[in-house]
Amino acid sequence: MLSFKKPDVEQFFRTFAIETFAVSPDEGQLVFSTNLSGKFDLWAMDLPNAFPYPLTFNGQSCHAVKYDKRGRFLVVGFDKDGDENSQLYALQPQGGELLPLCVKEGHRHMSPILSEDGKRLYYTSTKEDATYLSALCCDLTTGQEVSVLQGSGDASVFLTDVSPKEEYLVYSKHFANTYAPAFICFGDKHVSLDPEAEGEYTVSDSVFTGDAELHFLTNAGGDFTYLARFDIETETKTQLLDVEGVDFTSITYDKERKLLYLTASKGVSDYLYTYDLESGSLGGIPLPVDTLASIHVAESGNLYILGRSSVSPTNIFKKERFSEEWTRCTNYGVPGIAESELIRPEVLTYPSFDGLEIESLFFRATEETSNGHTILWPHGGPQAAERLGFRSLFQFLVSRGFNIFAPNFRGSTGYGLSFCKLVEGDWGDGPRLDNIAGLDWIVENGYAERDKLLLMGGSFGGYMALLLHGRHADYFKAVVDIFGPSDLFSFIESVPEHWKPVMNKWVGDPVADKDKLTAFSPITYLDGMTKPMLVIQGANDPRVVKAESDQIVKALNEKGANVEYIVLEDEGHGFSKKENEMRVYRAVLEFLEKAIKEQPASVQA
Please, which pLDDT band fits residue 605 given cuts at 50, 70 and 90? Answer: very low
Other C-beta atoms within 10 Å of 92: how many?
13
CA distances from 399 to 195, 344, 402 (A): 53, 12, 7
Sheet holding 269-276, edge to edge: 247-254, 259-266, 269-276, 282-284
CA distances from 91 to 42, 402, 429 (A): 10, 45, 48
Average pLDDT on 189-205 reads 95
Return the DSSP state at 103.
-
Predicted confidence (pLDDT) at residue 604 exceeds the cutoff of 50: no
Query: If DSSP codes are grouped into helix, strand and coil, which group holds residue 595?
Result: helix
Please, which pLDDT band fits residue 464 given cuts at 50, 70 and 90? Answer: very high
**Percentage with pLDDT > 70 across the chain:** 98
* pLDDT one-digit tens code per residue, 488-544: 999 999 999 999 999 999 999 999 999 999 999 999 999 999 999 999 999 999 999
* pLDDT one-digit tens code per residue, 198-219: 999 999 999 999 999 999 999 9
Query: If DSSP codes are grouped into helix, strand and coil, which group holds residue 134?
Result: strand
414/444 Cα distance (integer angstroms): 27
Q: What is the DSSP string of 203-271?
A: EEEEEEEETTEEEEEE-TTSSS-EEEEEETTTTEEEEEE--TT-EEEEEEEETTTTEEEEEEEETTEEE
In this prediction, residue 112 carries a pLDDT of: 97
Predicted confidence (pLDDT) at residue 433 exceeds the cutoff of 90: yes
- Average pLDDT of the chain, as a whole number: 95
Query: If DSSP codes are grouped into helix, strand and coil, which group holds residue 471?
Result: helix
* pLDDT one-digit tens code per residue, 79-111: 999 999 999 999 999 999 999 999 999 999 999
pTM attached to this predicted model = 0.95
* pLDDT one-digit tens code per residue, 401-417: 999 999 999 999 999 99
The amino acid at residue 124 is T
CA distances from 297 to 252, 285, 290, 550 (A): 7, 14, 19, 46
Please, which pLDDT band fits residue 600 given cuts at 50, 70 and 90? Answer: low
543/573 Cα distance (integer angstroms): 7
- Cα angle 414, 296, 302; round to 5: 125
Cα 505 to chain centroid distance, Å, stands at 21
Predicted confidence (pLDDT) at residue 599 exceeds the cutoff of 90: no
In this prediction, residue 85 carries a pLDDT of: 94
Average pLDDT on 150-158 reads 88
Q: What are the backbone dihedrals phi and psi of residue 201, each rounded to the nearest 5 degrees, phi first?
A: -160, 175
Which domains are delineated in the chain? 339-598 (3.40.50.1820)
Bridge pairing between strands 453-458 and 374-376: parallel
Beta bridge partners of 62: 78
Predicted confidence (pLDDT) at residue 9 exceeds the cutoff of 70: no
Average pLDDT on 409-433 reads 97
Evaluate the CA torsion angle 240, 242, 248, 254 in order and state its sign.
Answer: negative
Are residues 362 and 447 in contact, defined by beta-carbon separation less than 8 angstroms? yes
Average pLDDT on 294-304 reads 96
